[in-house]
Amino acid sequence: MTDVYVGEMWDMGMGPAVPITYVRVAIGEVLKGSPISRTDGFVEVGLGTVSNEVLDDLRARLPQHDNVWFLMSDEALSPRSPANETEIAPYAYVPSNDLQGVLRSIDGRVRVIKPAWIETFLGEDHFPLLLQGTNFAELVEEVRETSKT
């Protein structure tokens, strides 16, 4: 992740436009599909709305570890309303969901986002919790092989 920023303002039709935060992600390898990008070698992933304080905190501590991201094109999911058609719209991606869309490599091991929350509210066998602590390189290879089919 190289930057976090407000990428667009959405008109929800209920008052002032809402800022939508994005993270710019450097592409190390594409395991399936062809990225659509405004800048070669990067994709932009929508994070939703965050306060200025959270945005500043995210920007100050962008993680530098490797990740496997499971992304979907925002435009492919559902066309935007004319009020929300912006420059970034054709290039925006979203993770499959907050907890399963990113698998992190910390010291070569898979680290799941919010593992305690997943276990408490979804159960100890809920995906991707069973991947926690496994070998990240092996996971990448498994995803690579699976994506060939």
pLDDT for 122-136, tens place per residue? 999 999 999 999 999
Say if residues 104 and 128 touch (Cβ distance below 8 Å): no
Beta strands in 27-149 (DSSP E): 42-48, 67-69, 71-73, 92-95, 102-106, 109-112
φ and ψ of 61, to 5 deg: -135, 45
Looking at the structure of the chain, the number of domains it has is: 2
87 and 52 part of one domain = yes
59 and 120 part of one domain = no
Q: What is the pLDDT of residues 53-110, one digit of tens each?
A: 889 999 999 999 999 999 988 766 667 666 567 888 888 998 888 788 899 999 999 9
Query: How many angstroms separate the CA atoms of 33 and 80, rounded?
Result: 22
For 107-136, b where at least 16 C-beta lie within 10 A, e where not — what string? Answer: eeebbbbebeebeeeeeeeeebbebeeeeb
Query: How many angstroms separate the CA atoms of 106 and 24, rounded?
Result: 20
73 and 38 part of one domain = yes
86 and 142 part of one domain = no
Q: Which domain holds residue 142?
A: 105-149
53 and 122 part of one domain = no
70 and 142 part of one domain = no
User: What is the value of pTM for the model shown?
Assistant: 0.84
| Nearest to 7, CA basis, from 17, 101, 16, 15 | 17
